[in-house]
Amino acid sequence: MPDPSPGGKTPPRQPRSALRTSVVWEVLKDALDRRAKVRGTDSLDVLDTGGGSGSFAVPVARLGHRVTVVDPSPNALFALERRAAEAGVADRIKGVQGDVHGLFDVVERDGYDAVLCHGVLEYVDDPAEGVRNTVAALRADGTISLLAAGLGGAVLARALAGHFTEARQALTDPAGRWGDGDPMPRRFTAEQLTTLASDAGVEVGAVHGVRVFADLVPGVLVDTEPRALEALLKLEAAAAELPAFHSVATQLHVLGEKRA
């Protein structure tokens, strides 16, 4: 995750982390900038559900926003506290223990300008309820960012690894799992994720395929070939919004606003 400096510039990033987060980060940063302009403020109230150790929360706080992180893991929240302190944003980040199903036991409804729900819906018992709760935490016209595992990327990865039966299993399994050894409880298609958002009261603004190529390119190529990382990042950004590539992305990102 890029860690913006107070002046808004982004220092050099490690290749692997840049490939995993660049598309979502750039889209999210732009969305927060737009929301701040609409509200006429430099500082938004942002909720990060399942935010863990702060891979998104800390960079968001360094942009000047106030971030509340809800996560069920005490260890993750401890790491968040340490990370926030090291980044000099401890005064703008609050961590609370909880989960998206019991969200309003720890945060208020209608209290946030933006909500992040990244890497959560794959693991919860009821994704629809999880999305409804995140939307209910938003103020009117607030911004929501959903990021979840994509079905197509897993199918492609298993097939390219020679596990053709597992690839077919993922295609036909209701949860998109390739077998009992699959560590991911659930995967989504772009249609499934946008339907969850729309049914919960979100006006979907954009859908992005994340890590369309990054997980398929050998790491040694990215790390050693001159300008390969820069070129691959540009390719990822160019393909992210094209529907044709959503079906093979490792992750899917939905950005939208709470309907009035």
pLDDT tens per residue, range 186-222: 999 999 999 999 999 999 999 999 999 988 887 777 7
Query: Residue 218 has what pLDDT?
Result: 79
Query: Residue 208 has what pLDDT?
Result: 96
Query: Residue 202 has what pLDDT?
Result: 97
pLDDT > 90 in the chain, percent:
83
Task: Tell me the whole-structure pTM to 2 decimals.
Answer: 0.90
Query: Residue 245 has what pLDDT?
Result: 94
- Architecture per CATH, 15-150+188-258: 3-Layer(aba) Sandwich (3.40)
pLDDT band at 224 (very low <50, low <70, confident <90, very high): confident
pLDDT tens column, 111-146: 999 999 999 999 999 999 999 999 999 999 999 999
Query: Residue 16 has what pLDDT?
Result: 54
Mean pLDDT of the chain: 91
Query: Which residues fall within 8 angstroms of residue 231, CB to CB, at 6 or more apart?
Result: none
Whether the Cβ atoms of residue 250 and residue 37 lie closer than 8 Å to each other:
no
| Complete edge-to-edge strand list for the sheet that includes strand 251-258 | 93-97, 66-71, 45-49, 112-118, 138-149, 251-258, 202-210
So where are the chain's domains? 15-150+188-258, 152-186
Query: Which residues fall within 8 angstroms of residue 101, CB to CB, at 6 or more apart?
Result: 124, 125, 126, 129, 130, 133
Give CA–CA dist 193/78, Å, rounded: 31
